[in-house]
């Protein structure tokens, strides 16, 4: 059954039906579609637009359909045009003419706009909970290695000594901002378009505030054209999810580097790595690499949505059917990647000795060595040059600043005393940076 058949003199071609169908994407919204229909039917009966007995029949019929879909006793018809058509046709087959009255005062345009907001509201909660789990996994790893010293990097060159927990905390802060962006987008999305109809509302005396409250929305959308024709909430969520993937990809890149033989800062658990078909020694960080690679999917989803929406005149256009594959795909990919990242972080082992050795060998305490001279009255730029000469000499002769003989220090600058060794110790360098 097509909801729009009355105008047409012949059946649509099969290719038209196949091309026009969205059931593969929107069938996952069956709960939201039924919830919206239950609220709409209750409002129609409350307003006297349909008879009370019709409202009761619709409610019983929809609840039965929902129960059977959830139990698996009823399957969504893949040949249905969309989930809205399927539910209404199934309802009508069960309760007769009362089912045909459900769509009074409503269009598929405001119906789908409502459904997708309800569905994405739940998806926001799932992604946020998954991000919280990753933050907790990073926190647990910070607590496991509270005093592990590692090199901090700029330009991927060793720069200054830091604590491993500080490095992990940087990602926690990024992820907390991600939570804020998703929450902000979800709050702006929580407006109810139901009642906007196709574009201009309806002549029936509906109560939009009632349906909005029944569905848990904060408010109704003020402009009916806006209610059915914009998907900026999808764009905003796709942008927020893209930033999540940027952060997951950056963390993945570091894990990939750290578990390489060149770094050996961490070892990933066997359960979250794979091997080679030809090289028996290999232990590959494939999950981290896939997270890094899947970021492109989410970025592509955002770009696809932007491209769909950029030239559309008001109000609804069929182009907007493309919104679901893109935004559902973005959420699905992010959830998949978070599901992989959490146990990978939870089970990774840290080689604190290798981290500290890299920090010691990279002259990461050179800035502190210069600060030592500044504390004895030497201008910073002169101190900088003196320590630069010391570093060059250490590199040439195989010393570190912690092992360089005091006479070599004094050859560079007479202000050095034997307390320089305590001052440039990595633990002291880290301890001074408490702010």
Annotation says 40 is catalytic: no
Q: N- to C-terminal Cα distance for the chain?
A: 67
**What SS3 class is residue 200?**
coil
**Cα distance between residue 48 and residue 264, in whole Å:** 72
- Asked if the bond preceding 323 is cis, omega within 30° of 0, the reply is no
Nearest C-alpha neighbor of 285 from the set 271, 274, 301: 274
Write the CB contacts of 383 (distance below 8 Å, at least 6 apart in sequence).
Answer: 370, 371, 372, 373, 374, 413
Nearest C-alpha neighbor of 331 from the set 119, 21, 34: 119
Burial track 308-333 (b if 16+ CB lie within 10 A, e otherwise): bbeeeeebbeeebbbbbbbbbbbbeb
- Residue where the block lists tokens 């009761």: 56
- Residue 194 has phi, psi (to 5 degrees) of -60, 135
Say which of 71, 155, 277, 435 is annotated catalytic.
155
Burial track 79-91 (b if 16+ CB lie within 10 A, e otherwise): ebbbbbbbbbbbb
Neighbouring C-alpha atoms within 13 Å toward the C-beta of 350: 22
Say which of 22, 71, 252, 276 is annotated catalytic.
276
Residue 315, token pair as written in the block = 């109000």
Nearest C-alpha neighbor of 346 from the set 142, 99, 204: 142
**Cα distance between residue 6 and residue 26, in whole Å:** 24
**What SS3 class is residue 349?**
strand
**Cα distance between residue 399 and residue 264, in whole Å:** 22
Residues classed as catalytic:
155, 276
């Amino acid at each position: 059954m097509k909801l729009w058949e009355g105008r047409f003199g012949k059946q649509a071609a099969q290719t038209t039906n196949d091309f026009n169908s969205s059931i593969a994407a929107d069938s996952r919204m069956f709960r939201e579609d039924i919830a919206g229909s239950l609220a709409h039917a209750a409002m129609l009966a409350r307003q006297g637009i349909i008879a009370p007995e019709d409202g009761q029949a619709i409610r019983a019929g929809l609840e039965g359909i929902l129960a059977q879909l959830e139990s698996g006793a009823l399957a969504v018809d893949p040949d249905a045009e969309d989930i809205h058509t399927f539910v209404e046709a199934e309802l009508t087959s069960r309760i007769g003419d009362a089912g045909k009255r459900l769509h009074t005062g409503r269009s598929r345009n405001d119906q789908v706009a409502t459904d997708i907001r309800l569905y994405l509201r739940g998806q926001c909660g799932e992604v946020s909970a998954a991000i919280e789990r990753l933050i907790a996994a990073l926190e647990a790893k910070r607590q496991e290695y509270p005093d592990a010293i590692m090199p901090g990097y700029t330009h991927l060159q060793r720069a200054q000594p830091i604590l491993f927990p500080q490095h992990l905390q940087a990602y926690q802060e990024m992820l907390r901002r991600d939570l804020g962006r998703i929450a902000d987008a979800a709050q702006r999305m929580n407006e109810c378009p139901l009642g906007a109809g196709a574009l201009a509302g309806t002549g029936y005396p509906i109560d939009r505030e009632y349906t909005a409250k029944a569905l848990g929305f904060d408010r109704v959308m003020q402009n009916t054209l806006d209610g059915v024709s914009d998907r900026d909430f999808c764009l905003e969520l796709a942008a927020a999810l893209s930033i999540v993937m940027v952060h997951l990809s950056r963390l993945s890149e570091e894990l990939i580097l750290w578990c390489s033989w060149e770094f050996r800062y961490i070892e990933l658990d066997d359960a979250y790595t794979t091997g080679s078909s030809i090289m028996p020694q290999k232990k590959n960080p494939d999950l981290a690499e896939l997270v890094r690679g899947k970021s492109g999917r989410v970025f592509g989803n955002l770009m696809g949505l932007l491209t769909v929406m950029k030239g559309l005149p008001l109000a609804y256009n069929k182009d907007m059917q493309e919104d679901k594959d893109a935004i559902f795909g973005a959420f699905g990919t992010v959830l998949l990647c978070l599901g992989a990242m959490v146990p990978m972080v939870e089970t990774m082992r840290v080689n604190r000795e290798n981290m500290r050795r890299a920090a010691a060998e990279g002259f990461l305490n050179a800035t502190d060595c210069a600060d030592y001279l500044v504390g004895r009255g030497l201008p910073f730029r002169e101190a900088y040059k003196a320590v630069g000469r010391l570093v060059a000499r250490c590199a040439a002769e195989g010393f570190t600043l912690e092992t360089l003989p005091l006479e070599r220090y004094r050859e560079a600058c007479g202000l050095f005393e034997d307390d320089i060794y305590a001052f440039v110790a990595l633990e002291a360098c880290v301890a001074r940076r408490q702010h």
